[in-house]
């Protein structure tokens, strides 16, 4: 028996409604094929797959334009053709891969600016949840700053007799260490995002 998540149920109900003008057997073939892809997925995974499938109205319109599935008099084959849907750029897996890679290595190519571009691209993509985006883009910064602060204050506690003159280089060391830490952890975030994307 099919096991559909709430997101899949809602999507399939919309798809069924939009396909009302598509003749059989094409209508049933489309619905059954998509239902099979969504069967057994968790709600989060179903949402990710739905993002790649596209809007039901587009699928139905493409099916109507492609043909009604009746045998061609000359070939005896169904008259409809395979329709390749053009999905929005933000829903494209290739765009998501590019966004993750930019986040991971953009800071090395163009310091700071490249990282910000990667952050913007990751948040533009719809193939990750908000939580995943937050972990990948904010996590490296938070972890690095906390680690740097802890290391810095331990050093200050061990050398409380330091003069203010000696603490100025320490501040710059702290800043550069943070930048390098964020850059390195962004590579880890890139790998994590790509792994999450493969599970969609």
12 neighbors 34 (Cβ within 8 angstroms): yes
Mean pLDDT of 142-154: 74
pLDDT-derived band at 40 (thresholds 50, 70, 90) equals confident
pLDDT-derived band at 179 (thresholds 50, 70, 90) equals low
The predicted pLDDT at position 135 comes to 92
The predicted pLDDT at position 141 comes to 80
Residues 165-197 as b/e (b if ≥16 CB within 10 A, e otherwise) read eeeeeeeeebeebbbebbbebbbebbebbeebb
The predicted pLDDT at position 156 comes to 57
The predicted pLDDT at position 167 comes to 47
Give the lowest-confidence range in 13-17, 47-51, 174-178: 174-178
Of residues 96 and 148, more confidence is placed in 96
- Specify the pTM: 0.49
């Amino acid at each position: 028996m099919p096991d559909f998540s709430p997101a899949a149920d809602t999507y399939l109900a919309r798809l069924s409604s939009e396909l009302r003008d598509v003749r059989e057997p094409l209508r049933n073939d489309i619905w059954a094929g998509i239902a099979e892809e969504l069967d057994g997925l968790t709600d989060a995974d179903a949402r990710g797959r739905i993002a790649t499938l596209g809007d039901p109205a587009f699928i139905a319109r493409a099916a109507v334009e492609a043909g009604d599935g009746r045998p061609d008099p000359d070939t005896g084959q169904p008259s409809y053709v395979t329709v390749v849907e053009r999905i929005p750029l933000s829903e494209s897996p290739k765009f998501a891969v590019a966004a993750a890679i930019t986040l991971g290595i953009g800071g090395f190519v163009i310091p700071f600016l490249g990282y910000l571009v990667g952050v913007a691209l990751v948040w533009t993509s719809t193939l990750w949840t908000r939580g995943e985006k937050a972990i990948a883009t904010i996590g490296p910064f938070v972890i690095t700053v906390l680690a740097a602060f802890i290391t810095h204050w331990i050093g200050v506690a061990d050398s409380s007799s330091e003069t203010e003159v000696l603490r100025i280089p320490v501040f710059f060391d702290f800043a550069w260490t943070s930048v390098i830490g964020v850059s390195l952890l962004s590579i880890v975030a890139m790998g994590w995002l790509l792994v999450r994307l493969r599970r969609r």
